[in-house]
């Protein structure tokens, strides 16, 4: 979830709607954790990061929040192919490949209703038959949603999850999420609600064809104060009906959500969790932690930090060469979609060599999803602010074809 400017969504509804709501009182300087590798670096960074009034920034995101500024970056450019999907105004997207090779992308778009009580995010579906080079819109779904995930079953049925796309009076976005199934490649959809407020980054297709996704049992994102530190495992044979179980996590913390989980080749489950850093408020002070389970989700290891402050929306992809790719959003400068790699099954991550997949003109960015194609190339879908000073539609959905060295 994110905070959108008034040209996209009225501010009153945003504050009411977001599951990452800021405290009602102003957010003061809150660099509560030392930033920097050495004590000298931390002291220098403390001076550089001093003086921000975080209440003046959307979601407390200054662009410098929590960043180690005692470093420079050496860039290396590689060839890629980048394509826009649909018109201006498209935003975050789910992404999947059908057994016949076609790519399907589901992206959300504001309906721009002049009545604030009727503002909705509609999900539009696109198809590509040429590995992402060109896209055709095949349907505007009847689904009002944001932050979609899209998964294809072995029988070509598509299963979509999404946060509720309406946050005004009578909204039930804290009670349930949107679910949908399509048996015709995304042209028509069967819709239903799934109880529970947290929505997944992705779903796992198990070897037997069943579905599994992992989410927070009950999160404190809504400031309810009654969250759970555990994970909920949601399983289905076809995406219509679901069974639930709970896995214990080795921590006492409940402010997390938007989980990406994968089944590793050795059978372990690996899950990346977006969390609010303790003693802070606002999306500028969130990061991503990772945990694993070797008993099919019954017990999970103590989560460890895998990404820097303000690096969220992690999407995990296990590659054919056994490396694990984590695609994520930078909510700090430079804004955009990025990726890092693990060579040891998710134990460590090469945070010193991030891969910039897209650049955004503002913080409204993200929800990247990366798929590996048959030729082992990668394709990433993500949102960005492409038109900073050109309202009313400032965002766009793009895909980029690329390869890892």
Q: Where are the domains of the chain?
A: 81-402
Asked if residue 357 lies in contact with residue 368, where contact means CB atoms within 8 angstroms, the answer is yes
Burial label for 51, CB within 10 Å (0-12, 13-18, 19+), is exposed
**Does the structural domain 81-402 have CATH classification 2.60.120.10?**
no
User: Which H helix or E strand runs over 126?
Assistant: strand 121-128
Q: What is the pTM of this model?
A: 0.91
- For the record, the structure tokens of 360 come out as 């955004």
Model confidence at 180, pLDDT cuts 50, 70, 90, reads: very high
Note the pLDDT of residue 144.
79
Note the pLDDT of residue 223.
53
Note the pLDDT of residue 270.
98
CA angle 382, 389, 124 (to 5 degrees): 35
**C-alpha gyration radius of the chain:** 20
Note the pLDDT of residue 12.
30
Q: Which residues contact 302 (CB under 8 A, 6 or more apart)?
A: 249, 250, 251, 291
- pLDDT tens-digit readout, 84-131: 999 999 999 999 999 999 999 999 998 877 776 677 889 999 999 999
- pLDDT tens-digit readout, 222-268: 554 578 999 999 999 999 999 999 999 999 999 999 999 999 999 99
Note the pLDDT of residue 9.
33
**Phi/psi at 205 (5° precision):** -95, 110
Percent of the chain with pLDDT over 90: 76
- pLDDT tens-digit readout, 270-311: 999 999 998 888 899 999 999 999 999 999 999 999 999 999
Note the pLDDT of residue 274.
97
Note the pLDDT of residue 2.
52
């Amino acid at each position: 979830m994110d905070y959108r400017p008034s040209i996209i969504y009225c501010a009153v509804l945003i504050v009411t709607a977001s599951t990452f709501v800021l405290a009602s009182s102003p957010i003061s300087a809150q660099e509560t954790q030392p930033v920097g590798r050495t004590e000298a670096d931390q002291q220098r960074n403390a001076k550089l990061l001093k003086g921000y009034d975080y209440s003046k920034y959307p979601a407390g995101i200054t662009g410098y929040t929590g960043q180690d500024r005692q470093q420079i970056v050496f860039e290396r450019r590689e060839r890629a192919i980048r394509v826009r999907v649909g018109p201006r105004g498209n935003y975050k997207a789910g992404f999947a490949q059908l057994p016949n090779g076609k790519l399907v992308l589901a992206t959300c778009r504001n309906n721009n209703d002049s009545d604030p009580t009727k503002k909705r995010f509609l999900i539009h579906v696109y198809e590509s038959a040429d590995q992402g080079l060109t896209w055709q819109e095949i349907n505007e779904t009847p689904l009002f949603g944001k932050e979609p995930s899209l998964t294809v079953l072995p029988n070509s049925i598509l299963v979509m999850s999404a946060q509720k796309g309406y946050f005004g009076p009578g909204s039930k976005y804290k009670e349930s999420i949107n679910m949908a199934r399509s048996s015709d490649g995304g042209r028509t959809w069967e819709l239903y609600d799934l109880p529970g407020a947290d929505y997944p980054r992705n779903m796992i297709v198990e070897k037997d064809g069943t579905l599994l996704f992992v989410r927070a049992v009950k999160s404190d994102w809504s400031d309810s104060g009654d969250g759970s530190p555990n994970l909920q495992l949601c399983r289905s044979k076809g995406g219509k009906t679901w069974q639930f179980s709970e896995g214990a996590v080795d921590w006492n913390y409940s402010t997390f959500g938007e989980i990406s989980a994968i089944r590793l080749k050795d059978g372990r489950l690996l899950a990346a969790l977006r969390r609010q850093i303790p003693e802070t408020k606002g999306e500028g002070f969130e990061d991503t932690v990772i945990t694993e389970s070797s008993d099919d989700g019954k017990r999970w290891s103590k989560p460890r930090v895998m990404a820097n402050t303000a690096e969220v929306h992690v999407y995990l992809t296990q590659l054919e060469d056994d490396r694990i790719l984590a695609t994520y959003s930078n909510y700090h400068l430079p804004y955009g979609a990025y990726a890092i790699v693990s060579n040891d099954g998710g134990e460590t991550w090469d945070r010193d060599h991030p891969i910039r997949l897209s650049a955004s003109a503002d913080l409204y960015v993200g929800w990247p999803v990366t798929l590996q194609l048959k030729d082992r190339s990668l394709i990433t879908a993500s949102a960005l602010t492409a038109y900073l000073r050109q309202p009313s539609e400032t965002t766009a959905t793009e895909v980029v074809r690329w390869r890892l060295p």
